[in-house]
Amino acid sequence: MIHDMRTVITGTGSFIPANKKLNKDFLQQEFFSDKQTRIPSEGADIIRKFEEVTGICERRYADEDMNASEMAVAAALVAIKDAGTDPETLDQIIVAHNFGNVLQGTIQSDAVPSLASRVKQALGIRNPACIPYDILFGCPGWVQGVIQADAFFKAGMARKALVIGTETLSRVIDQYDRDSMIFSDGAGAVVLEAVEGAADAPGVISTSVQSFTTDELNYINMGMSYAPNVDKRIRYIKMLGRKVYEFALKRVPEAMKDCLDKGHIPIGDVKKIFIHQANEKMDIAIIKAFYGLYDIREIPADIMPMNIHVLGNSSVATVPTLYDMVRRGDIPNQAVHPGDVILFASVGAGMNINAICYRV
């Protein structure tokens, strides 16, 4: 039997902040439109419509004295222990984020030195051949980190990597923008190892990455607060919600199908889809459109685990935390089993899309 190198997830971990921010906590919040005019709707009406579209009931915010790199370390320690590996044997530490460390109450982010370098130091790794670096790729950053590690493994340039997604979005949101209720904080990590195995052995089967930077470039961007008379020097994360929805609905299913086609995997073999937790309504529509590409109307009821209802959208952290939670049995009626074929998929600022087909 011919054996090949496979990129295998040998450990997972996550850090979920303890601070819960419930939807009712926004009842008294004033919201403004992008024209800086106050939205006259009652807070209860705004929240009801928000829940109907996003599915989010609560989200988590990091403690004021905890930053993104510290959350990354916390998630990494769990993943390293789960993998039973020696951190000194890591060849790469890849940290996906978008804003670096954003200290509470400041107006600048801090990404020098890189978050990955800070993680390496915090883990006590002295091996100079362990190379830490960051990825800025929008919400698909963690998935892209796994794809990069897989490429290094296949090129024979590394055999073990730690890939982390971490973000404190609560510190870059405009509290006067309704979309701010979507975002949250968290971190997820995996240890990846290059393992010799047969074609049907566990590991990455295929990948797909796409980027659209013409009309789509600024669908997610940084802009001024929607509220009048605020500090115009400060920029916050902004979305063109309808544009993002329409873009994702068309492009993400195509990338997922491209990934399966490259791996010669029939759609019926896919047991779970771990998709970026951006918006419940959008994610459901993406899955329906994906199956629609195969002329399938009946979608498996348990195909798409979700944690957005209680964790919100933590950007690069959504996919790894979701996978970790399912592996650990933390999401009711969801599990993965040895031999299962699963998909990871994400979409976000850039606009970037990626997908990984993986056998557990």
Q: Which of 225, 289, 213 is nearest to 256 (CA)?
A: 289
Give me the residues paired with residue 353 across strands. Answer: 210, 347
| Domain 203-359: top CATH class | alpha beta
Amino acid at 158: A
C-alpha gyration radius of the chain: 20
What is the CATH number assigned to the segment(s) 4-197?
A: 3.40.47.10
Question: Are the beta carbons of 207 and 143 closer than 8 angstroms?
Answer: no
pLDDT, tens digit (0-9, with 9 covering 90-100), for 268-284: 999 999 999 999 999 99
Give me the residues paired with residue 109 across strands. Answer: 102
Dihedral, CA atoms, 349, 354, 359, 360, nearest 10 degrees?
Answer: 0
Structure tokens at 350: 């850039």
pLDDT, tens digit (0-9, with 9 covering 90-100), for 172-189: 999 999 999 999 999 999
Cα(114)–Cα(224) distance, integer angstroms: 26
Per-domain residue ranges for the chain?
4-197, 203-359
Q: What is the pLDDT of residue 2?
A: 52
Q: What is the pLDDT of residue 21?
A: 97
Fold match, 4-197 / 203-359: yes
Specify the DSSP element, H or E, that contains 291.
Answer: helix 280-292
Question: Are the beta carbons of 323 and 274 closer than 8 angstroms?
Answer: yes
| Helix spans in 84-194 (H) | 115-122, 141-154
Structure tokens at 302: 């348990």
Averages of pLDDT over each 10 residues, the chain, 360 residues: 82 97 95 93 91 95 96 98 98 97 85 97 98 98 98 96 97 94 97 91 97 96 92 91 95 98 97 97 96 96 96 98 97 96 97 98
Helix axes 141-154, 318-327, angle to 10 degrees: 80
Structure tokens at 289: 């459109």
Cα(7)–Cα(19) distance, integer angstroms: 35
